[in-house]
Amino acid sequence: MNTYYPIYLELRDQPCIVVGGGKLAEEKVVGLLAVYAKVTLISEKITSHLKQLVEENQVTYIPRPYQHGDLTDAFMVICATDNAEINQQVWDEASAAHKLVNVVDDIPHCNFIAPAIIRNGDLTVAISTSGRAPALAVRLKERWQKELGHEYGDFLELARHLREPLAQHIPDFATRKKLWYEIVDSGILDVLAQGDEERALEIISEKVGFEFQPRVKA
């Protein structure tokens, strides 16, 4: 049985290399750019979307096949080719250098796996089947995406503004922790789902004992 340690990585400005230029590589590049990684793409041929990203200077492009030594400066490596020999070479170099490496759809040549991801504002939900059935992870993502509406992202935006004033008004951690649970359990998500932010602010103010106004109203 494979056991994986779930973790969220900070990839902002981290050098990440994607080997391959097809649709799978495109998907991986787009995902890395979404978290502000510094992406280098290595492949003879690339999709039209990848060409656009290169032309927009969002991606550094090396227009040739992978060569040993290409991974020297990489923090993370993703290999998305259908060439078993290249896949093996990428794995050998990256794993020998103790880098994070994922050869797509080849579990024995991965020291991390990429989950199906739901993003809603600052809410991120990662779904993994430990590589056993990625299609199931996708179906679960589709189901939960419908259930996790905009109200979750809206609540986290309010929470972002609340943390500092709450700490100032209530320095005791145990008390703040209790209040956070009370806010989450107050029905505020249902209120935000209906688009009633004003009522949501009233709920928070009632719970914390001071007027909470995260935005200056016109």
How far is it, in rounded angstroms, from Cα 152 to Cα 123? 7
- Looking at the domain assignment, is residue 123 inside a domain? yes
Same domain, 74 and 104: yes
On whether both 92 and 160 belong to a single domain, the answer is no
Shared domain check, 45 and 99: yes
In a domain, 183, yes or no: yes
Are 24 and 110 in the same domain?
yes
Q: Are residues 107 and 192 in the same domain?
A: no
At 4 the pLDDT is 86
The separation between the first and the last C-alpha atoms of the chain, rounded to the nearest angstrom, is: 58
CATH number at residue 127: 3.30.160
Note whether 143 and 154 are same-domain residues: no
| Domain count within the chain | 3
User: 178 is in which domain, residue-wise?
Assistant: 150-208
Q: Please, which pLDDT band fits residue 132 given cuts at 50, 70 and 90?
A: confident
pTM reported for the whole predicted model: 0.84
Judge whether 77 and 66 are in contact, CB under 8 Å. no
- The pLDDT, as a whole number, for residue 131 is 83
Residue 5 lies in a domain: no
pLDDT tens digits for 23-79?
999 999 999 999 999 999 999 999 999 999 999 999 999 999 999 999 999 999 999
pLDDT at position 215 is 66
Question: Residue 214: inside a domain, yes or no?
Answer: no
For residue range 193-213, list pLDDT tens digits in order.
Answer: 999 999 999 999 999 999 999
Among candidates 97, 66, 67, 93, which has minimal Cα distance to 80?
66
Q: What does the pLDDT look like over 158-197, one tens digit per residue?
A: 999 999 999 999 999 999 999 999 999 999 999 999 999 9
Question: At residue 212, what is the residue type?
Answer: F
